[in-house]
Structure 1
Amino acid sequence: MASAAFSVSAVFSLIVIYDAYRLRGEVQKHAQVLNRLRATLELKDEAVLNEMVGHSLAEILWGIVYGLSVTSVVLLTLGF
C-alpha cells in the first residue's frame, strides 16, 4: 500500500508543478498579449487582465524544498 500511495502522491505533485510553471506561464503570456492588443485597439471598456498568473522557477523550487521539509518533519514526528 505504501508504494501505491507514494506513486499517487508523486504523480499528483508532478501535475501541480507542471501546472504552476508551464500552464500558468502560458496564461500569463496570453494575458500580456491581450492587454497589449487592448491598448493598441484603444478598447477602454474592456477590463485589464491580470498578468501575474504563473510562478517563477525559483518559487517552484522553494515550494518543492518546503514540501519535502514539511513531509520529513511529519514523518520523523510520527516515527515512520
Structure 2
Amino acid sequence: MDRPTIPDVLDRFRSYHAREPSWGALHVVLDDINLTDAHVRQGQDFARERGDEEGYALGEILLKMTITQRLWLALNA
C-alpha cells in the first residue's frame, strides 16, 4: 500500500474544508477527532448517503494514512 504524504493531499483536504467548514461527511473524523478506521468508514457511509463523492474519496485517502497523519490534517487543514 502506498501511503499518501500530507503535502500530496493537503490542498485537496483544504479545498473540501473550504466547501464544508465543519468537514461535511467527515465531521466525526476530522472535526470531532475520532481517527480510527471505523470512524473513517462511518464518514464514508455518510458521504455515500449524501452523494458526496469527494468526501468518500478523501475517506479512502485517510484509510491509507497513519493516525498521526490524520491528526495533523484534523488540526491543520
Question: Which bin holds the TM-score, normalised by the shorter protein?
Answer: under 0.3
Structure showing greater relative contact order (alpha-carbon pairs closer than 8 Å, 6 or more residues apart):
2
TM value normalised by structure 1: 0.27
Rg (Cα) greater in structure? 1
